[in-house]
Amino acid sequence: MALIVQKYGGTSVANTVRIKEVAERVIATRNAGHDVVVVLSAMAGETDRLIHLAQEVAEQPDPREQDVLLATGEQVTISLFSIAVKHMGHEAQSMLGHQARIYTDHAYGRARISEIRTEPIWHNIYKGCIPVIAGFQGLDGRGNITTLGRGGSDTTAVAVAAALAADVCEIYTDVAGVYTTDPNIYHKARKLQRISYDEMLEMASMGAKVLHIRSVEFAKKFNVPVHVRSSFVDESGTMVVKEEKSMEQVMVSGVAYSKGDARITLAGLPDVPGVAARIFTEIAQEGIVVDIIIQGSTDDTSLANLSFTVLRLDRQAAIRVLEGMKKEWTDLDISSDENIAKISVIGVGMRHHAGVAAKMFQALGNEGINIHMISTSEIKVSCVIDDSHTAKAVQILHDVFELDKPLQHEIPE
Ligand code: ADP
Ligand code: ASP
Ligand code: MG
């Protein structure tokens, strides 16, 4: 008998028919003798709908009130689901973030879980009642409702699994697992049997939305085995696990892309010490995360240029911060571009294989795809390109690194 946390995403609970099917699935797991804790997302499209409603009322909705609004999406699914389970003759109890004692920091819209006091969840488990927890939401120290950022229900699920020391956290979604790239963008994408936490972390940070980044951080930190699988078919999916020696044999195990970034370019900056520190400190103070940074010099030795990427949704806020610096830096010119995409190749094997970056640049160059920015880590190489080339670039890189073939460590002995 195991303790299993099962999280169902928006498409898995998109309507009442799906909700009843998922309820049957959960009951089947219970009947097999396991304890189950359920975490649910809002119905597919619901969070978008709520965001649009808020924007109809105000261009920049108040963040506290927007979180109160967005948290309602999950309230609908947990209650409908619990009604379905009870109707099927089993015990279930819906639990909002605060009822499940999920505490976060104060950052509305992007809150981080700080603690889960598990007594109320355990109380339900001991009673033989299935806890049905609203994903994506928590409570800050002042009693305000917070949300965890888009896709955040995965993080609720893994954090709950970590706090309960569950045997596994199953993430049910609309694809059969984690693929070598987004299967909705390239038909040759192949389901991976296993992927290491570090690779999954890079995949998620680089745009593979199949798992929320923070969920992978939690999984790695607390060693939670995560099983990503489909709620539509009965087959095993992908295990996200600790790195295994054999995983290093492959140079690249996935290609990710993100269309969620914007590039900001600053020209005419004074070329003196402390300028970059000031810019990035003030931007960080707004809670904006900066990704790729390129600093260049100009012919005029007293001036410098700087380009960096931020999330598209943070572009305006970042520009507002920078506009405030124009008074002091009178030559400063600020421009920005949203028509960009970030494309990345990822693999723990890169630590031991040379030439991945060169092969990537060559492949993009051969197709006439211009690279605007580059960044690397130990296990990934990313390029910023025009977003119109995204699908083509994903397909080329998938082909060049032969990701449609089984990886070395997946071939049975
Ligand atoms: P859910 O609503 O269940 O949380 P999401 O839409 O957040 O589902 O995530 C699943 C989607 O992630 C898939 O439909 C797929 O398009 C996308 N995706 C991107 N990269 C990958 C990948 N490497 N493997 C699997 N899915 C991916
Ligand atoms: N409902 C939220 C969203 O759409 C959280 C989630 O689905 O994970 O982003
Ligand atoms: Mg998701």
Q: Is the CB of 181 under 6 A from ligand 1?
A: yes
Provide mean pLDDT across the span 12-21: 98
Task: Give me ligand 3 centre to Cα 248, in Å.
Answer: 28
d(CA 361, CA 400) in angstroms, rounded, equals 11
Amino acid 245: pLDDT: 78
| Atom number in ligand 1 closest to CA 178 | 24
Q: Evaluate if residue 413 carries a pLDDT over 60.
A: no
| Domain ranges within the chain, ordered by starting residue | 3-174, 263-337, 340-400
The domain made up of 3-174 has a fold known as Carbamate kinase (3.40.1160)
Q: Where are the beta strands (DSSP E) in 201-260?
A: 226-230, 238-241, 254-258
Distances (CA, A) of 12 to 7, 94, 153, 213: 9, 17, 13, 20
d(CA 6, CA 137) in angstroms, rounded, equals 17
**What is the number of other CB atoms lying within 10 angstroms of the CB of residue 188?**
13
Task: Give me ligand 1 centre to Cα 209, in Å.
Answer: 5
Q: Evaluate if residue 295 carries a pLDDT over 90.
A: no
Task: Give me ligand 2 centre to Cα 58, in Å.
Answer: 22
What's this model's pTM, rounded to 2 decimal places?
Answer: 0.92
Q: Where are the beta strands (DSSP E) in 155-260?
A: 168-173, 194-196, 226-230, 238-241, 254-258
The pLDDT confidence band at residue 95, using thresholds 50, 70 and 90, is very high
Question: Nearest to residue 161, comparing CAs of 124, 209, 116, 104?
Answer: 116
Return the CA Rg of the chain: 23
DSSP bridge pairs for 241: 196
Both tokens of 21, joined, read 């099917």
d(CA 157, CA 153) in angstroms, rounded, equals 6
Phi then psi dihedrals of residue 106, to 5 deg? -95, 5
Pocket test for ligand 2, best of 49, 113, 136 (most atoms within 8 A of CB): 136
d(CA 72, CA 55) in angstroms, rounded, equals 16
Measure the N-to-C terminal CA separation of the chain; round to a whole number of Å.
31
Q: Evaluate if residue 205 carries a pLDDT over 80.
A: yes
CATH code that applies to domain 263-337 = 3.30.70.260
CATH architecture of 340-400: 2-Layer Sandwich (3.30)
Find all residues with CB under 8 Å of 148, minimum gap 6, and list them.
104, 110, 111, 112, 113, 136, 137, 138, 155, 156, 212, 214
d(CA 141, CA 31) in angstroms, rounded, equals 38
User: Per-residue pLDDT tens for 27-68?
Assistant: 999 999 999 999 999 999 999 999 999 999 998 899 999 999
363 with 397: CB under 8 angstroms?
A: yes
Distances (CA, A) of 209 to 154, 200, 350: 10, 10, 23
Question: Nearest to residue 185, comparing CAs of 194, 175, 193?
Answer: 175
| Atom number in ligand 1 closest to CA 209 | 12
Provide mean pLDDT across the span 110-135: 97
What is the distance, to the nearest Å, from the Cα of residue 247 to the centroid of all Cα atoms in its chain? 23
